[in-house]
């Protein structure tokens, strides 16, 4: 009798390690790039990584134009402006330099460039007819894993929620994961992105679409975040901590890209779109509450996660307390109420979370009433 369900595993080509970013010219040449659109944001440019990237491309004889008119939680209209820039400048390859917002925006630009229409037309699973142009990603944060995932998350500004686009056509062609680029992250961003990686790993591990291959990556990521995130926050220049958090992000990305996620992300997408709140922060504030809701539906797996926090046969209370303690240790304090969420807001948030693609692989079915209750507990 077969023990394992049939599963697919998709991953891009990636290079991991110090100096990986300098391979960008080599890969752009291999893609026969004539003109590259660099998608980035002002913060990354100010840190000096953009100038270096342009120089690396110039050394390979490849001209580049820059699109940096985007914000955290990339907006639908920003994607459309980037697609117009790509078209008007005659570009044929995209390089994303930045965190998850930058990379998701770059994915959106690729989708629209290849398929036309509006980026909001492609919400859902496998809704993209044609693959986008070649995409090289150089992540500058450690947590979102957008550089290796099948997901693109874009803010629908009209309806104030985040759409999830899930398709193997949005998996980047190459990810150059260079821990050195994460050393310029401020501590709070390090905390938010690190807890995003933890959430990816935990949700992938308990997902109804998990598999033995996914499990290996998810558990490795949980152990790495628990061991190295506090150091990366307290000592931003500690390259060992930065390397291990970049590795944690990579491992978590390989896991969730293939197993999908759960109620934390479904609720965080709605929350982040409504309040324009940092995605990792949204996840961090919801994670222990969703674990409490799910615990009995996946007890064995949550106990295995608890072992990573030092508990044998971890109880629901021990695991959720450990998550809450780590969140506080990372400087993410207070709850949703401190960020402007009210019981009235919850009525607007919950319906979008109930329809989010991530909710369908949550280990316990979450009704609209359940989602409202979890939001309320997180106030």
Phi, psi of 307 (to 5 degrees): -60, -30
Distance separating alpha carbons of residues 360 and 363, to the nearest angstrom: 8
Q: Is 35 helix (H, G, I), strand (E, B) or coil?
A: coil
Quick: pLDDT tens for 113-157: 999 999 999 999 999 999 999 999 999 999 999 999 999 999 999
Which pTM value belongs to this model? 0.95
pLDDT level of residue 277 (50, 70, 90 thresholds): confident
Distance separating alpha carbons of residues 324 and 309, to the nearest angstrom: 12
Distance separating alpha carbons of residues 207 and 92, to the nearest angstrom: 37
Q: Please, where in the chain does CATH 3.40.50.1970 lie?
A: 13-181
Nearest to 170 by CA among 358, 35, 12, 356: 12
Identify the pLDDT of residue 2: 67
| Residue percentage of the chain with pLDDT more than 90 | 92
Q: Please, where in the chain does CATH 1.20.1090.10 lie?
A: 185-377
Identify the pLDDT of residue 275: 86
DSSP notation for 194-206? HHHHHHHHHHHHH
Does the 13-181 domain belong in CATH 3.40.50.1220? no
The CATH code belonging to domain 185-377 is 1.20.1090.10
């Amino acid at each position: 009798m077969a023990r394992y369900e049939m599963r697919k595993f998709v991953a891009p080509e990636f290079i991991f390690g110090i100096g990986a970013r300098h391979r960008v010219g080599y890969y752009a040449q291999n893609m026969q790039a004539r003109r590259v659109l660099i998608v980035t944001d002002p913060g990354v440019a100010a840190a000096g990584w953009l100038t270096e990237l342009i120089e690396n491309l110039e050394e390979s004889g490849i001209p580049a134009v820059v699109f940096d008119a985007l914000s955290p939680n990339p907006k639908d209209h920003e994607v459309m402006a980037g697609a117009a820039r790509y078209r008007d400048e005659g570009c044929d390859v995209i390089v994303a330099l930045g965190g998850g917002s930058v990379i998701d925006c770059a994915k959106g630009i690729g989708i629209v460039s290849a398929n036309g229409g509006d980026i909001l037309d492609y919400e859902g699973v496998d809704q993209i007819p044609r693959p986008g142009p070649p995409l090289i990603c150089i992540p500058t944060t450690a947590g979102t894993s957008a550089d290796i995932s099948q997901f693109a998350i874009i803010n629908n500004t009209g309806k104030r929620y985040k759409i999830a686009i899930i398709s193997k056509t949005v998996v980047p062609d190459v990810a150059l994961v260079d821990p050195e680029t994460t050393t310029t992250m401020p501590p709070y961003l390090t905390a938010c992105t690190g807890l995003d990686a933890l959430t990816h790993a935990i949700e992938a591990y308990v997902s109804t679409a998990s598999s033995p291959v996914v499990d290996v990556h998810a558990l490795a990521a949980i152990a790495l975040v628990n061991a190295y995130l506090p150091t990366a926050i307290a000592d931003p220049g500690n390259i060992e901590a930065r390397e291990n958090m970049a590795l944690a992000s990579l491992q978590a990305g390989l896991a969730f890209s293939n197993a999908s996620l759960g109620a934390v992300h479904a609720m965080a997408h709605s929350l982040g779109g409504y309040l324009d709140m940092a995605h990792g922060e949204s996840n961090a504030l919801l994670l222990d509450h969703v674990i409490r809701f799910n615990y009995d539906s996946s007890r064995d797996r949550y106990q295995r996660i608890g072992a990573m926090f030092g508990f044998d046969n971890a109880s629901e209370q021990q695991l959720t307390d450990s998550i809450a303690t780590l969140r506080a240790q990372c400087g993410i304090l207070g709850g949703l109420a401190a960020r402007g969420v009210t019981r009235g807001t919850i009525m607007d948030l919950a319906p979008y979370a109930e329809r989010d693609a991530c909710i369908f692989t949550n280990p316990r079915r979450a009704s609209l009433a359940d989602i409202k209750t979890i939001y309320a507990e997180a106030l």
